Amino acid sequence: MNRNLLVRPLGIGTLSLPNNLALAPMAGTSDLAFRRICHRMGAGLTVTELVSARGMMHDPAMRRNWRYLAIDADAGAMGIQLFGADPDDFAAAIWQILDHPILGRCSLIDINMGCPVRKVVSEGAGCALMQTPQLAARIAQKAVAAAQGLKPVTVKCRSGWDDASVNAVLFARMLADCGVSAITVHARTRAQMYGGKADWSVLAAVKAAVSLPVYGNGDVTCWQDADRMLRETGVDGVMIGRAAQGNPWLFRQIHSQDGTGPGPEDRRDIILEHLAQLAELLGEATAVREMRRHLGQYLRGTPGAARLRAAAMAVTRREDLENLLGEWQIRCQ
Ligand SMILES: Cc1cc2nc3c(=O)[nH]c(=O)nc-3n(C[C@H](O)[C@H](O)[C@H](O)COP(=O)(O)O)c2cc1C
C-alpha cells in the first residue's frame, strides 16, 4: 500500500488546507463545539450545517443563525454552507458574510446542491438544483462574483436526482466553468436519501472529468475506507459525515492509520468538553438538552450506555450530567 496517498495538504483556490480530510456539514451536529473538536482530531476542514441564504437577510444581527455559523480561530479552516434557489439571495448572503467582523474570517462558502429533504427541494433548492442546471449555474456564477476572489466558493452535490438521471459529471464540469473552486460529491442519488450504498464509481468519473479538487463523500466509516476511497477513485479529499458523529477520533485514526478507539476517560473528556462549549454557546439548559442527543452517538456500543442515556433524560443541570458521566466512566473501568 502506498501510505503517502492518504493524508496530504490540499489547496482550494487560494486556500491552503493542512490536510484533505473534512467534516461534512450536518444539521444538528456541525456546531462550533463539534467543529472545534474535529479540527483538533485532525479534520483539515469543517463545514457548518446548511443555512438559508434568504434567511440570512432576515437575520442581519445573526440572532437565529449565530449558533450554526459561529466560528473562531480554534476551529481551523471552516466553510459556511448556504442553501437557496435564488441567485440574488446567495449574493446578498455572501456580502453579509464578508462584511461581518467574525464570519468574514470563514475559509470558504459552500453551496448546498445535494440536500434531499422535501422542504428544501420543493423550493427548488438543495438537490433539486441538479435537475435545473441552468439555475444552478446562475447561482454558482453569482456566488463566485459576490465572493470577489476573497473566498473560494465550493459546491456539495449528489450523484444525481435518481438512477435515471445520474448527472454529477456534467454538473461538475458546468460548475467548474462557473468558477467554483472545489466540489464535494455525496455518491448517492436524491432518491436514495441516506439508504443503500454509495456508488464510488461516480466519484472516480467526476474526478476524471474536472481539474478542480474533488472531495468524495459517502459511507467512509474507518481509516481503511478513507484509504480505499482515495486510492480507488482518485479524489483529492475525503469528507466524512455520520461516522464522525460521536466519533471525532475517526480523523485521528485516519491520520495514524490505526483504528484504536478512545478509552472511557478520553471519551468522557471529549463529551465534557463538548458540553462545556455548548453551554458557552447556548447556555446551560439548552446545552444539557442538546447533549442528550450527542450522548447517544458518543456512547454507541459502550457498556452502560443505555442506562446513562436514560438517566441523562432526567437531568437539566450541567453538573448532574458531569456526575453521571463520572459514574459511567468508573463502571467502564
Ligand atoms: C443528520 C444529518 C444532517 C445533514 N445535514 C447536512 C447539511 O446541512 N448539509 C449538507 O450538505 N449535507 C448534510 N448531510 C449530508 C452529509 O453531509 C453527508 O453528505 C451524508 O451523510 C453522506 O456522508 P456519510 O456517509 O459520511 O454520512 C446531513 C446528513 C445527516 C446524517
Residue 243 and residue 270 in one domain: no
Last residue of a domain, one of 190, 222, 256: 256
The catalytic site residues sit at 115
Distance in angstroms (rounded) separating the CA atoms of residues 173 and 176? 5
Residue 134 is part of a domain; what is its CATH number? 3.20.20.70
Distance in angstroms (rounded) separating the CA atoms of residues 320 and 305? 16
ipTM of this predicted structure: 0.99
Q: Name the DSSP class of 242.
A: G
pLDDT tens by residue, the chain, 333 residues: 445 568 999 999 999 999 999 999 999 999 999 999 999 999 999 999 999 999 999 999 898 999 999 998 889 999 999 999 999 999 999 999 999 999 999 999 999 999 999 999 999 999 999 999 999 999 999 999 999 999 999 999 999 999 999 999 999 999 999 999 999 999 999 999 999 999 999 999 999 999 999 999 999 999 999 999 999 999 999 999 999 999 999 999 999 999 999 999 999 999 999 999 999 999 999 999 999 989 999 999 898 899 999 999 999 999 999 999 999 988 887
Last residue of a domain, one of 256, 290, 313: 256
DSSP string computed for 63-109: TTTHHHH---GGG-SEEEEEE-S-HHHHHHHHHHHHHSTTGGG-SEE
Decide if 219 is inside a domain: yes
Residue 77 and residue 133 in one domain: yes
Decide if 6 is inside a domain: no
How far apart, in Å, are the Cα atoms of 256 and each of 38, 41, 216? 15, 11, 20
Distance in angstroms (rounded) separating the CA atoms of residues 75 and 301? 28
Please identify, by atom number, the ligand 1 atom nearest to the C-alpha of residue 239: 26
Distance in angstroms (rounded) separating the CA atoms of residues 203 and 185? 7
Residue 33 and residue 118 in one domain: yes
| Residue 100 CA, ligand 1 centroid: distance in Å | 27
| Residue 48 CA, ligand 1 centroid: distance in Å | 11
| Residue 24 CA, ligand 1 centroid: distance in Å | 6
Domain that holds residue 287: 264-332
Number of domains in the chain: 2
Q: Whose CA is nearest to atom 2 of ligand 1?
A: 26
Residue 285 is part of a domain; what is its CATH number? 1.10.1200.80
Decide if 105 is inside a domain: yes
- Ligand 1 pocket, Cβ-based, cut-off 6 angstroms: 24-29, 49-50, 81, 112, 114-115, 156, 186, 194, 217-220, 240-243
Do 112 and 125 form a contact (C-beta atoms < 8 A)? yes
Residue 304 and residue 229 in one domain: no
